[in-house]
Amino acid sequence: MQQDLLKMLSAREGHFKLESGHHNNFWLDLDLLFLRPRAVHRFAVELANRLVKHNPDAICGPLVGGALVAEMIASELDVEFFYTERFVPAQRDGLYSMEYRLPSGLRKPIHGKAVAIVDDVISAGSAVRGTLTEIQTYGARPVAIGALLVLGDLAVNFFAERNLPLERIANQPSSLWLPSECPLCAAQVPLEDMVASQLSPRDAANT
């Protein structure tokens, strides 16, 4: 199943600044992953089967890809579905500066719920970490993290330190660098800021 999932993902090489603030040498274009929901659905079902043992009352995913997978899993498990929206601060020079917020109407209903947080792909884990902080702010109890694909060990170690089980369909090695330690910066390879390149008009209004 891991190889089937990896075949669906398209990667390009270069020098990229990720949402977390880390740099790396490749980028996964995930928009095409959801062109055919039926193809993704079987992976979501398998992830649901792995998350069910954690007895979640609800599944929460960050928009966009994480929420799409989370909704599939919530439907499969017949539990509640929540999502968070990305908020881009005016200054985001540090690591993990991005925020993820629950819509105002979902803040009260999530209180007291056992929640599994799901994303399509987790690398440094910026979106999941932001979602984790947000749901805890509103009284939810995180019970597990889920992803179709986990890249590298950074997020694995972060969630292990917090005793949060991380369920995933596939793993892939990945190198992440702090900006001050990035070999591509040292080699003066042009940097592409992936958040800036993806900003919608709504996001831009929040910068």
Q: Where are the domains of the chain?
A: 2-6+36-198
- Per-residue model confidence as pLDDT tens for the chain (207 residues): 777 777 777 788 899 999 888 999 988 888 778 888 888 999 999 999 999 999 999 999 999 899 999 999 999 999 999 999 998 876 667 788 889 999 999 999 999 999 999 999 999 899 999 999 999 999 999 999 999 999 999 999 999 999 999 999 998 888 899 999 999 999 999 999 987 766 544 443 332
Residue 64 structure tokens? 């966009």
> CA 132 to CA 147: how far, in whole Å?
14
Q: Are 169 and 43 in contact (CB under 8 A)?
A: yes
Beta bridge partners of 26: 13
Task: Spell out the long-range contacts of 88-91 with Cβ–Cβ below 8 A and sequence spacing 24 or more.
Answer: 88/195, 88/199, 88/203, 88/204, 88/206, 88/207, 89/206, 89/207, 90/207
**Which of the listed CATH numbers 3.40.50.300, 3.40.50.2300, 3.40.50.2020, 3.30.420.40 matches domain 2-6+36-198?**
3.40.50.2020
> CA 202 to CA 198: how far, in whole Å?
11
